[in-house]
Amino acid sequence: MATILVTGSRGGVGSWTVDRFAEAGHEVVGVDRRLPPGTRENAAFKAADLTDYGETRQLVAAADPDAVVHLAAIPNPDHHAGSRVFENNVVSTYNVLDAAGAAGARIAWASSESLYGTVFAEEHWLPDAFPIDEETPTEPEDPYGLSKVVGEEIAARVARRYGVPAVSLRASWVNYPGAYETRPAREGFDPATADPSGNFWTYVDVRDLIDAIEAAIDPETAIEGHEAVLVTAAENFIGRDTAAAIEAVHGDLPDDCDLDGDEAAFDLGKAKRLLGWEPEHSWREAEGLDVDGPDFV
């Protein structure tokens, strides 16, 4: 079993990730700004300010992890000053990933589909082609998306500097079984009145995202250097033809559009080739589940 350090361990994705790895018998070190109120077998929790390099380096070195999963971040620019979002996300990512590289740990961290620029843009726009893939230009206007672009450059630098594998997981809107937030958006969807969707109604189930994290840090996965990988559900959450919905709501569609039915607007081919990963969960079954999440938070 491995020692796995997880940042953002009190957050949604972080707490589910700690729970999964601890359940599998790994030794988990969960890091967040505050300690959780509860405990978890096979998990130790540390409180730290990840924007402090010395504190972060000391904590990672003491844990001596086999892998580091960096999930801590301010998740969007809506509730904080843009400068705070950018500085917090970039500095903490540099500190955590550099410390992980110095420790020789495999790295997976939460990038975002927001780096393409479509999610928080002042004027919603369309890419030149669908589906969007890892080669689609990143053109963010907002501090959150920009922090993810810089974070991927940090991950690439760490992989070069320390010779460790690093995977940037470009995840979409994360939903949780038993607590999906997709139903109201789908049931209230009217192409004639709907607002443009920055991620084209794409989401990912937290269980699938953790599967991708597991694959990214698995020593058996042949990764060299840094790789960016899209991680989304296979289909949109509105249950409609994706291309038709984009054209109706956004008022246009790129000439280069190869989308079939309700499939996601993002290409998942690289995740399958590199990680052997494909999404297994859909809103169709997950919305109705009664699932308890982690109880230590």
116 a catalytic residue: no
Please report, for residues 59, 118, 246, 258, the alpha-carbon distance to residue 261 in angstroms, rounded to integers and kept in the order given.
Answer: 48, 21, 12, 10
Q: Indicate if the alpha-carbon torsion angle 227, 231, 235, 238 is positive or negative.
A: negative
CA distance 291 to 184: 19
Q: Which is catalytic among the residues 94, 116, 144, 180? A: 144
For the beta carbon of residue 280, count every other beta carbon within 10 angstroms.
11
The token duo for 210 is 């953790």
Residue 185 backbone dihedrals phi, psi, to 5 degrees: -65, -40
Residue 98 backbone dihedrals phi, psi, to 5 degrees: -65, -40
The token duo for 124 is 């919603």
Q: Give the DSSP letter string of 167-218.
A: EEEEE-EEE-TT---HHHHHHT--TTTPPP-TTSS-EEEHHHHHHHHHHHH-
CA distance 162 to 103: 9
Residues annotated as catalytic are 144
